Amino acid sequence: MNTGEGGSALERAWVRVRTRLRNEYGEAAFKNWLKSLTLLRASGDKVVLAVASKFWRDWIAAHYGDRLVEMWKNENMGFNGVEIVVAPVEARNAERPRPDAPIEPPRLNGDERTPPPGAAPPQVNGDEPRLGDVQNMCTPLDPRLTFETFVIGKPNEFAHAAALRVAEADDIPFNPLFLYGGVGLGKTHLMHAIAWRLKHRTPSRRVTFLSSETFMYLFVKAVRYKDMHAFKEQFRTVDLLMIDDVQFFGEKSATQEELFHTFNALVDHRRQVIISADKPPVDLQGIEERLKSRLGSGVVAQLNPTNYELRLSILQAKAEHKGVAIPPKVLEFLAHKITSNIRELEGAMTRLFAHCTLLNSREISIDMAQEVLQDLLRANDRHVTIDDIQKRVCEHYNIKMADLLSPRRARAVARPRQVAMWLAKQLTTRSLPEIGRKFGGRDHTTIMHGVRKIEELRGGDPSLNEDIEILTRSLTR
Contact set with Mg ion (CB under 5 A): 187-188
- Is there binding between residue 185 and ligand ADP (CB under 6 A)? yes
Based on CB atoms, which residue is closest to ligand ADP, 122 or 305? 305
Based on CB atoms, which residue is closest to ligand ADP, 32 or 156? 156
Least distance from Mg ion to the Cβ atom of residue 384, Å = 22
Based on CB atoms, which residue is closest to Mg ion, 29 or 60? 29
Based on CB atoms, which residue is closest to ligand ADP, 133 or 157? 157
| Closest C-alpha to 152, from 190, 178, 181 | 190
- Is there binding between residue 183 and ligand ADP (CB under 6 A)? yes
| Closest C-alpha to 463, from 419, 423, 426, 413 | 419
- Is there binding between residue 230 and ligand ADP (CB under 6 A)? no
- Is there binding between residue 195 and ligand ADP (CB under 6 A)? no
The site partner of 472 among ligand ADP, Mg ion, none (C-beta below 5 to 8 Å per kind) is: none
Least distance from ligand ADP to the Cβ atom of residue 25, Å = 13
Distance between CA atoms of 457 and 126, rounded to whole angstroms? 55
Q: Which of residues 83-112 bind ligand ADP (CB under 6 A)?
A: none
Residues 6 or more apart whose CB falls under 8 angstroms from that of 276 comprise 178, 179, 180, 187, 188, 191, 242, 243, 244, 245, 246
Least distance from ligand ADP to the Cβ atom of residue 189, Å = 3
Residues 6 or more apart whose CB falls under 8 angstroms from that of 247 comprise 212, 277, 278, 279, 284, 285
- Whether the CB-CB separation of 332 and 312 falls below 8 Å is answered with yes
Least distance from Mg ion to the Cβ atom of residue 240, Å = 17
H-type helices in 304-431, by residue range? Answer: 308-322, 328-337, 342-358, 366-372, 374-381, 386-397, 401-405, 411-427
The site partner of 414 among ligand ADP, Mg ion, none (C-beta below 5 to 8 Å per kind) is: none
> Residue 300 forms beta bridges with which residues?
178
- The residue at minimum Cβ distance from ligand ADP is 186
Least distance from ligand ADP to the Cβ atom of residue 476, Å = 13
Distance between CA atoms of 205 and 253, rounded to whole angstroms? 31
Amino acid at 336: H
The site partner of 314 among Mg ion, ligand ADP, none (C-beta below 5 to 8 Å per kind) is: ligand ADP
Among 177, 342, 384, 399, binds ligand ADP (CB under 6 A): 342
Of 42-50, 120-128, 265-273, 338-346, which part binds ligand ADP (CB under 6 A)?
338-346
Distance between CA atoms of 208 and 234, rounded to whole angstroms? 10
Task: Give me the sheet containing 81-86, strands edge to edge.
Answer: 38-43, 46-51, 81-86, 107-108
If phi > 0 it is left, if psi is from -120 to 50 it is alpha, else beta; for residue 383 that is alpha
Least distance from ligand ADP to the Cβ atom of residue 43, Å = 37
The site partner of 186 among Mg ion, ligand ADP, none (C-beta below 5 to 8 Å per kind) is: ligand ADP
Least distance from Mg ion to the Cβ atom of residue 188, Å = 3
| Closest C-alpha to 329, from 365, 375, 284, 293 | 365
Based on CB atoms, which residue is closest to ligand ADP, 346 or 403? 346
H-type helices in 75-133, by residue range? Answer: 89-93
Show the beta-strand stretches assigned E in 172-232.
177-181, 207-211
Among 61, 314, 338, 421, binds ligand ADP (CB under 6 A): 314
Distance between CA atoms of 302 and 285, rounded to whole angstroms? 18
Among 47, 50, 71, 151, binds ligand ADP (CB under 6 A): 151
Least distance from ligand ADP to the Cβ atom of residue 161, Å = 13
Of 8-16, 170-178, 184-192, 234-242, which part binds ligand ADP (CB under 6 A)?
184-192
Based on CB atoms, which residue is closest to ligand ADP, 185 or 373? 185
3-state secondary structure (DSSP) of residue 418: helix
Based on CB atoms, which residue is closest to ligand ADP, 37 or 315? 315
- Is there binding between residue 343 and ligand ADP (CB under 6 A)? yes
Least distance from ligand ADP to the Cβ atom of residue 142, Å = 8
Q: What dihedral angle (degrees, nearest 10) is formed by the CA atoms of 308, 311, 316, 321? A: 170
- Is there binding between residue 280 and ligand ADP (CB under 6 A)? no
- Whether the CB-CB separation of 28 and 211 falls below 8 Å is answered with yes
Q: Write out the residues near ligand ADP by the rule CB under 6 A.
A: 145, 149-151, 156, 181, 183-189, 314, 342-343, 346
